[in-house]
Amino acid sequence: MQTLPTIETERLLLTSLKADDIPDIVQYANNENISKYTINLPSPYFEKDAIYWLNLAHQGLKNGTNYIFAVRLKADASFVGGISLTVEKRFSRAEISYWMAEPFWSKGYTSEATKAIMQFGFDKLGLNKLTSSHLGANVASGKVMQNAGMSKEGELVEHICKEGVFHNLVLYGITQKQYQALKE
């Protein structure tokens, strides 16, 4: 896949990240309320972190290992978050990761974007399984996964150490067969 497709939902556009997004990415990601619930977002978050993410998106697309989308409001194409698939080609599966800017929490945008990227993973990439995980304290993220049709598969106790504190990691997943059954 040479270019990332634009995925359109009822209220969102999932598109490629652009250099023009860097100020919004830094503004929104530099938020302790976001970083404390994510595994990989550093705090504080700097421009160099956003540039790294854009480069990761470019290289990942080129290698077919990461499909990183900007989440944008359909009304004005403004950047509000990110969502990605990290592909394990050998096992025909990918992990969904996402973050949403705090002003856009509790509006159903993350569930909407997750359902769209699931469809992309299964229908366009032909994957057999999609997984996702969240820190135990991030119950809202688990609800996003459930809303998208994923099932809790387990919990790894004190599996992640972030800023010197150990956290449980809650695992969710859905197979191609389960996804197809949901669509029927």
Cβ contacts of residue 45 below 8 Å, gap of 6+?
Answer: 26, 29, 30, 31, 35
State pLDDT tens for residues 131-152: 999 999 999 999 999 999 999 9
State pLDDT tens for residues 42-100: 889 999 999 999 999 999 999 999 999 999 999 999 999 999 999 999 999 999 999 99
Give the integer Cα–Cα distance in Å for 177 and 45.
39
Confidence of residue 162 (pLDDT cuts 50, 70, 90): confident
Q: What is the pTM of this model?
A: 0.94
Give the integer Cα–Cα distance in Å for 150 and 140.
14
Superfamily name and number for 7-183: Gcn5-related N-acetyltransferase (GNAT) (3.40.630.30)
Question: 5 by DSSP, 3-state: which?
Answer: coil
**pLDDT at 1 exceeding the cut of 80:** no
Show me where the domains of the chain are located. 7-183
Per-residue pLDDT at 102: 96
Compute and round to an integer the Cα radius of gyration of the chain: 16
